[in-house]
């Protein structure tokens, strides 16, 4: 049922008041609100935006300016006709009646005024929608941040359309059982909320049909029959799902929900959702592609400094950090230590179990040591079964304590790769700077290697400190 048009009346002339009272008493299309003074009028206009304002003329509106009413005005000229019409012309009021008043004349003027307001409201809404699209296009051309674009979309829609939910849902190509809320207007920090698509038949339909799905009444639509017990307590009434399509593939959906009783999305609101979804398509694809490339770049950068077998740093990255830390230690006389360790009898493991098991032992060894490594330390594979660790801001005593902690952690560990979960031991050599014999960064590695060689010759499973040689 269509709602009545609201008409506000501010006229104290007895003749026109009698006419208006009688007219609205018998008319079912309009709801009349009579106000007696300027204060009451301002108060009423502050609460509602009427479809038309009827005023007496000559106008005595004081601070009220007809041009700023935001609705059409109809003037009732009942006395002093000359001044009344002059007042109408001066204030550029489009509709007026001259006493004696006639019902048919007033009804025609009222209908024209309301239609004019509806037309202007429509034009204003279209203008606002176009401004949103232009703003979106401007944004997407100036940023490659998908999160920023996504949040702008949902926030703008929520500003223009009265919705209780406005989210962008992503549906990965490799997965059709779940969708993910990647942006919602309630909070820009909310992302990656997983949805079970069994509970969202409207999204599934949009995905299959690749077209906009409109649910006018979620409690009556056959599509929603299976989920009514879930949505009924939530008050969900009308739903729109606008798919974001790129090259005939749905890369996401614009998912809006409103729980207002009796409310459905208008054609204009649906058009706006589709327009924004279309405008966002290329931008979102480019943004996601850029994000993917950045992730690949990060992955490649990680591969460049990572040992392929163990997943820890490679010797190339270790030398880079060694140069950096050694230079800093020389400049500020900060202690710097180096630990080199070797898995005892590793050749025997390869000969007994094979190289594949040997590789698995190396991976487990690296993971075990990493677990006990401080964030500031640089742990890398030196080659074969040899590993090396750089300890910034660590003195000789601190290096020995750290080496002993690692030696015990390895000795106590049972390797899953080995039969009967046997353990292994390590031999460790340590060296620390400043030391009068250490002149270059290479000396640090050479002396740590010499200490390790001595530890292996002395029986393995022990720590040897270079300055004690």
Task: List residues with catalytic annotation.
Answer: 385
Q: What angle is formed at CA 187 by the lines to CA 297 and CA 143, rounded to 5 degrees?
A: 40
Structure tokens at 348: 């025997």
Q: Cβ–Cβ contacts within 10 Å for residue 397, how many? A: 12
The β-bridge partners of 4 are: none
Paired sense of beta strands 238-246 and 213-215, if any: antiparallel
The β-bridge partners of 7 are: 32, 52
Q: What are phi and psi of 145, to 5 degrees?
A: -90, 105
The β-bridge partners of 166 are: 256
- C-alpha dihedral (44, 49, 50, 53), degrees to nearest 10: 70
Structure tokens at 285: 């694809």
Structure tokens at 44: 């009423």
DSSP-assigned states of every residue in 220-275: T-GGGGGGHHHHGGGT--EEEEEEEEETTEEEEEEEEEE--TT----HHHHHHHHH
CA pair distance 68, 87, nearest whole angstrom: 16
């Amino acid at each position: 049922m269509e709602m009545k048009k609201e008409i506000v009346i501010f006229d104290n002339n007895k003749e026109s008041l009698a006419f208006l009272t009688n007219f609205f008493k018998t008319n079912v299309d309009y709801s009349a609100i009579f106000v007696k003074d300027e204060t009451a009028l301002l108060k009423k206009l502050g609460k509602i935006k009427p479809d038309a304002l009827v005023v007496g003329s000559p106008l005595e509106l004081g601070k009220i300016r007809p041009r700023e009413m935001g609705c059409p005005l109809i003037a009732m000229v009942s006395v002093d006709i000359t001044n009344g019409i002059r007042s109408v012309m001066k204030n550029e009021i489009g509709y007026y009646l001259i006493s004696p008043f006639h019902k048919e004349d007033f009804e025609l003027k009222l209908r024209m005024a309301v239609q004019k307001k509806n037309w202007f409201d429509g034009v204003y809404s279209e203008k606002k929608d176009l401004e949103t699209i232009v703003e979106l296009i401007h944004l997407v051309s100036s940023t490659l941040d998908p999160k920023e674009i996504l949040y702008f979309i949902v926030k703008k829609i929520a500003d223009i359309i009265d919705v209780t939910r406005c989210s962008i849902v992503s549906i990965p190509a490799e997965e059709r059982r779940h969708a993910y809320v990647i942006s919602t207007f309630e909070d820009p920090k909310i992302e990656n909320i997983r949805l079970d698509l069994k509970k969202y038949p409207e999204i599934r339909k949009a995905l299959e049909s690749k077209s906009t799905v409109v649910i006018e009444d979620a409690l009556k639509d056959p599509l929603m029959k299976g989920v009514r017990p879930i949505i009924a307590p939530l008050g969900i009434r009308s739903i729109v799902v606008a798919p974001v399509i790129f090259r005939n593939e749905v890369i996401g959906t614009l998912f809006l929900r409103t729980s207002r009783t009796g409310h459905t999305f208008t054609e204009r609101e649906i058009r706006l959702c589709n327009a924004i979804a279309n405008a966002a398509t290329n931008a979102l694809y480019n943004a996601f592609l850029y994000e993917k490339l950045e992730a690949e770049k990060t992955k490649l950068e990680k591969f460049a400094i990572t040992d392929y077998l163990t997943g820890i740093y490679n010797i190339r990255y270790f030398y880079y950090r060694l140069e950096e830390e050694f230079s800093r230690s020389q400049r500020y006389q900060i202690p710097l230590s180096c630990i080199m360790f070797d898995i005892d009898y590793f050749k025997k493991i390869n000969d007994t179990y094979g190289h594949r098991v040997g590789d698995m032992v190396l991976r487990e060894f690296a993971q075990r040591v990493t677990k006990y490594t401080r964030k500031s330390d640089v742990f890398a594979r030196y080659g074969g079964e040899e590993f090396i660790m750089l300890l910034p801001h660590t003195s000789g005593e601190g290096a020995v304590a750290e080496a002993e902690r690692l030696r015990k952690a390895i000795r106590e560990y049972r390797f899953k790769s080995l039969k009967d979960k046997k353990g292994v031991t390590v031999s460790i050599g340590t060296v620390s700077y400043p030391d009068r014999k250490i002149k270059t960064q290479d000396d640090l590695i050479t002396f740590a290697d010499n200490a390790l060689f001595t530890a292996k010759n002395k029986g393995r499973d022990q720590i040897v400190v270079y300055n004690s040689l």
